[in-house]
A and B are shown apart, each in its own frame.
Chain A
Amino acid sequence: MDDKNSKIDSRRQFIKQISTGSILAATGLGFSSLTSCKEKSQEKTSLLTTDGKLVQVPNSEIESMEHLHHGAPLKEARQGIPNKKFVMVVDLSKCRNARKCVQSCDKHHDLTPERPYIKVLEMKDNEDSSPYWMPKKCFHCDNPPCVKVCPVGATFKRTDGIVLVDNTRCIGCRFCMAACPYSARVFNWGEPPEGKLDIPYSPETSLPSRKGTVAKCDFCPDMLRDDKLPHCVTACPNGVIYFGNEIEDTVTNGEETVRFSTLLRDKAGYRYMEDLGTKPRVYYLPPVDRLFPFEEGKQKPEVS
């Protein structure tokens, strides 16, 4: 039953995505390589429009586009992807503060460096223990304090475990920011620095941002709908971040796919501040047998 429903759902989903995409959005994917042709004005390229017509467009008119992925519309974005329970494992022994996760996240969410969703924190548990790098994003808690305090349900928990923000509903009271023990949330204090983006809003992409509303790491559900990994996972050069479906008990960092439970068991996985009872969906593997010396991360430029 469930399987059938999900199939119908995904088909409906597919049709919807097609119909909501603009001509360029649907076809532009193949043209990122063509952008260099822009100057040679005479050449033309055949494009397929969303309603099935074949058209020719001069190359000079073609522009490359980013953010081709459109998340689900508001109502669907509240539901979550069926049969999924997303989970993330961050292996602290592999992180050298390369900051590629931060950069790719900033790029795909149109964030400026002072307002990142991901932070790589320099941690030191006590005076004698050695320091380590700790990539931190929203923990998508199963008992989320931010969702509990929101007066209007602008931040919500989905069936697939993801906590999202609907910035068309957020009233900007910032109670969620006060309630989050992990400082995961950022606020659009002024107009979003990226300017106006002409794409339909979805909580799944967190784009476009809106003045006076809260935002945070969203686990990139727009990618997940296409069975792709979140940007931070694929961007990491060291395979620090594993991501997967808890129901299938598998997580992958893009290179190797492992059993989630085995990984946690073998490498003594833990959740940050378990005693708060927030039940995070992000696990950490302790920084033992490091791949890189801590100091190596210090040499990197702080903010690119």
Chain B
Amino acid sequence: MKTEDHKVQTFENRKEKDLFKNLIFTSKHYKLWVAFLLLVIAIGFFAYYRQLKYGLIVTAMRDYTSWGIYISNFVFFVAISLVGSLFSSILKLNKNEWAKPLTRISEIIAVSAIVCAAAIIIVDMGRPDRFFNVIRYMRIQSPIIWDVIIISTYLVISILLLYLSIIPDLALCRDELNDVPKWKKRLYKITAINWSNDPKQIGLLNRVSKILSIAVLPVAFAIHTVTSWLFATTWRPGWDSTNLGPYFVSGAFMAGAAIIIIAMYFIRKHLKLKAYIREDHFDKMGKLLVLLSLVYLYFNINEYLGPAFKMVGVEGEHITELFAGKYAPMYWLVQIGGLILPIVLLLFKGMRKPLPISIISACVILGAWFKRFLIVIPSLQHPYLPIQDVPEAYRHYNPTWEEWMITMASFAWFLLIITVLIKLIPALPIQKHDHVSKNIPILNLAKNEK
């Protein structure tokens, strides 16, 4: 291989050495991984091409189940994107120093997820060619417009948060990395915007980051609350609920924490960063996940207990369908396997070790995805007026291969953005904390416990 032939650049600083390694080396695994993701995306594009050509008829959506897994997947990605604010705002403002090394991963995931959410909502449109009608004929009364506004705001803030935090590292890449292609050098040079670790620059950056980390919090809450209003502003059973906003937001934080744990596991393993993402991090994240899951459990009980006690009309039909009907297996699997069991298991210290907690987090993520399926689809199948005189296909919803492939492609796209970003910039901050807060050691968590 080419990289083995010529002399590889070495770094004196241990941290630079560890974190730059992934930026310089391109392993076979990495190439295979990217090729696999591109393949999935290509199949997804083919499915989308068919959808553009024939219309939404290639999906399993019909007049009653008029929203399907595109919408539930959209809600899922919006939920995932909230994790950026969890780290760069909530944990940061509460001075949780241990979480700092994870901030960048969370910000990358946030940006990637919100980009995917925006893309998937365009896929769901019957007329994507008329996307700009949304701007041309904007009606501010419509919750969709609120969502468009808040998502674009959050997208901008997330990108800014990520970008600001990587500027010092980009400058470091510009100065230190010699063994990279020309385009990469130029990229670092342009994106580092003359950063020179000047105290004035650092002061400015700190101020702006602080403002942003405060500003992102209400926006993050708003983004998922507004998304919940897309449902709560209708009369559908299961959606017509005042509980929906906090229910969505708490579920989002749970899913976000779980996805960070999975990301930590893979980045730690494949980038060989065991010294930086330590078992203590997994332990702390496990405790955090339990806390967030308990909050979500609380809102879950609120969401289902009232309607299940009253069993009024279509709301009662809907609850019966979830608890004991067609969707019962999925419902109980999601609620027990994706919520209750993780809470119980993560109470044990042994379960908060990297591998077990990552498996548990994967269950939480799977549960979170199917939970959104259960929020979106069964509600549409219980309208006030009975469903009669329709072809059999109108009564059920089993997503077609086109829908599944487009959904898979959205995951691949999500992972590809993350993969490419951590290939271009160090997965953990190298420079920032050294300069910004000299008095706080990087691995302060480890030191504290000594």
> Which 8 A-B pairs have CB atoms at the shortest separation, nearest pair first?
A172-B126, A212-B126, A190-B57, A151-B144, A189-B57, A152-B137, A151-B142, A190-B55
Residues of B within 8 A of A213 (CB): 126-127
B315 to chain A, nearest CB (A): 13
- Select one of B63, B136, B144, B387 contacting A177, CB under 8 A: B63
Extra A-B contacts (20), CB below 8 Å, given A152-B133, A173-B126, A214-B126: A121-B385, A122-B386, A136-B385, A148-B142, A148-B233, A152-B137, A154-B137, A171-B130, A173-B125, A174-B126, A177-B63, A177-B66, A178-B66, A178-B380, A181-B383, A183-B63, A187-B66, A189-B62, A212-B125, A213-B127
CA distance A152 to B132 in the complex (A): 10
- Interface presence of A258 (CB below 8 A): no
- Contact across chains for A178 and B67 when beta carbons are under 8 A apart: yes
Task: Determine the residue in chain B with the shortest Cβ distance to A189.
Answer: B57
A22 to chain B, nearest CB (A): 28
Task: Determine the residue in chain A with the shortest Cβ distance to B376.
Answer: A178
Task: Determine the residue in chain A with the shortest Cβ distance to B230.
Answer: A175
- Contact across chains for A171 and B384 when beta carbons are under 8 A apart: no
Task: Give the interface segment out of B33-41, B361-369, B388-396.
Answer: B388-396
- Contact across chains for A172 and B139 when beta carbons are under 8 A apart: no
Residues of B within 8 A of A153 (CB): 137, 139
- Select one of B61, B67, B141 contacting A189, CB under 8 A: B61
Residues of B within 8 A of A190 (CB): 54-57
Which residues of B does A touch, CB under 8 Å? Answer: 54-57, 59, 61-64, 66-67, 124-127, 130-131, 133-134, 136-139, 141-145, 148, 230-231, 233-236, 380, 383-391, 394
A167 to chain B, nearest CB (A): 9
- Contact across chains for B389 and A172 when beta carbons are under 8 A apart: no
CA distance A211 to B125 in the complex (A): 11
Task: Determine the residue in chain B with the shortest Cβ distance to A166.
Answer: B137
A271 to chain B, nearest CB (A): 13
Residues of A within 8 A of B234 (CB): 145, 149, 178-179, 181
Task: Determine the residue in chain A with the shortest Cβ distance to B61.
Answer: A189
- Interface presence of A273 (CB below 8 A): yes
- Contact across chains for B127 and A170 when beta carbons are under 8 A apart: yes
Report if A121-B388 is in contact (Cβ < 8 Å); known contacts: A149-B144, A211-B55: yes
Interface of chain B: mostly helix, strand, loop or mixed: loop
Residues of B within 8 A of A115 (CB): 63
- Contact across chains for B384 and A187 when beta carbons are under 8 A apart: no
A157 to chain B, nearest CB (A): 12
Residues of A within 8 A of B56 (CB): 172, 187, 189-190, 212
CA distance A115 to B142 in the complex (A): 27
A-B CB contact pairs (8 Å), 14 listed: A119-B388, A122-B388, A123-B386, A152-B137, A152-B139, A153-B137, A175-B230, A181-B383, A182-B383, A183-B383, A187-B56, A187-B63, A189-B61, A189-B62
Q: How many residues of A contact B (CB 8 A)?
A: 45
CA distance A130 to B52 in the complex (A): 47
Residues of A within 8 A of B388 (CB): 119, 121-122
Task: Determine the residue in chain A with the shortest Cβ distance to B139.
Answer: A153
Residues of B within 8 A of A175 (CB): 142-144, 230
1/0 contact string of A210-247 vs chain B (CB within 8 Å): 01111000000000000000000000000000000000
CA distance A302 to B131 in the complex (A): 40
CA distance A120 to B125 in the complex (A): 30
Q: Which of A131-145 contact B (CB under 8 A)?
A: 136, 145
- Contact across chains for A114 and B390 when beta carbons are under 8 A apart: yes
- Interface presence of A276 (CB below 8 A): yes
Residues of A within 8 A of B67 (CB): 174, 178
CA distance A145 to B240 in the complex (A): 13
CA distance A171 to B129 in the complex (A): 8
Residues of A within 8 A of B230 (CB): 175
CA distance A175 to B67 in the complex (A): 9
Residues of A within 8 A of B387 (CB): 183
B373 to chain A, nearest CB (A): 16
- Interface presence of A186 (CB below 8 A): yes
CA distance A115 to B134 in the complex (A): 27
- Interface presence of A185 (CB below 8 A): yes
CA distance A185 to B66 in the complex (A): 10
CA distance A90 to B350 in the complex (A): 68
- Select one of B57, B134, B385 contacting A171, CB under 8 A: B134
1/0 contact string of A65-84 vs chain B (CB within 8 Å): 00000000000000000000
B11 to chain A, nearest CB (A): 51
